[in-house]
Amino acid sequence: MNITPQLLYNILLEHFGKLNWWPTDINYHKKIGSDPRFEVIVGAILTQNAAWSNVEKALINLKNKKLVDIKKISKIDIKILKEMIKPTGFFNQKAKRLKDIAVFLESRYQANLDKFFKRSLKEIRKELLMLNGIGPETADSILLYAGNLPIFVVDAYTKRICKRLPIKINPTYDDIQNYFQKNLLKKYKKNEISKIYNELHALIVIHAKTYCKNKPECTICPLQKICMYNKKLFQ
């Protein structure tokens, strides 16, 4: 049996329910008049090689100083920025990446994310990938979660699950992304596909953290009946 992305989505959705990812503090942004989409962009960079719990600590540091804002990040002294995002690790590189993208958005798009996202997905993705430290996963997270654009995010959790389930596909970023998108586009309408990509990626992340860990907990996993890894483990 070859499990499809749609079947995976249905099983995980039934088990976990809707997750409504990416979390942003809407009240904070209303209060200071900033764009919550920039919080997603900041989070996508800070979460590189970091646990989300540590990203939250860094975001709290930034919010306490009302700094989750394109113009403020572009102007802040980088030493101060490094100190605030220390909980996420690799803070020297990440501070530079945050500064670079903030300066880029301010100089090229007048710090207006409507202007930035109001173009073709292909064009935006190409620009993001040209920025310092922005790879496919980070770029696609920004496109999907901040821009609400239809692209499926592939991360280490997705690759792990694809290797363990009966999914016949090369375990590369592009191949996994194309496989998921091709299947799901056949099953869902274009006006809802971004939401499906969003929800499925979030479900895969929580599933991998809860059950499909490096050392998996197969006996209580909702995918155990269709998982090849589970079958090999208990042969």
Measure CA of the first residue to CA of the last residue in the chain; give whole Å.
18
Which domain range does residue 190 map to?
A: 5-19+152-233
Instruction: Assess whether 65 and 135 both reside in one domain.
Output: yes
Nearest to 94 by CA among 58, 68, 144, 137: 58
CATH, residue 204 = 1.10.1670.10
Distance CA 139, CA 134 (A): 6
Domain annotation covers residue 28: no
Identify whether 212 is part of a domain: yes
Number of structural domains (the chain) is 2
User: Per-residue pLDDT tens for 163-209?
Assistant: 999 888 888 999 999 999 999 999 999 999 999 999 999 999 999 99
**Span 152-173, pLDDT tens digits:** 999 999 999 999 998 888 889 9
Give residue for tokens 């530079």. 96
Residues 163 and 140 in one domain: no
Q: Are residues 141 and 223 in the same domain?
A: no
90 CB burial (10 A radius; 0-12, 13-18, 19+): middle
User: Which pair of tokens denotes residue 60?
Assistant: 């709290």
131 plus 72 within the same structural domain: yes
Domain boundary among 146, 181, 208: 146
Closest CA to 70 of 27, 37, 30: 37
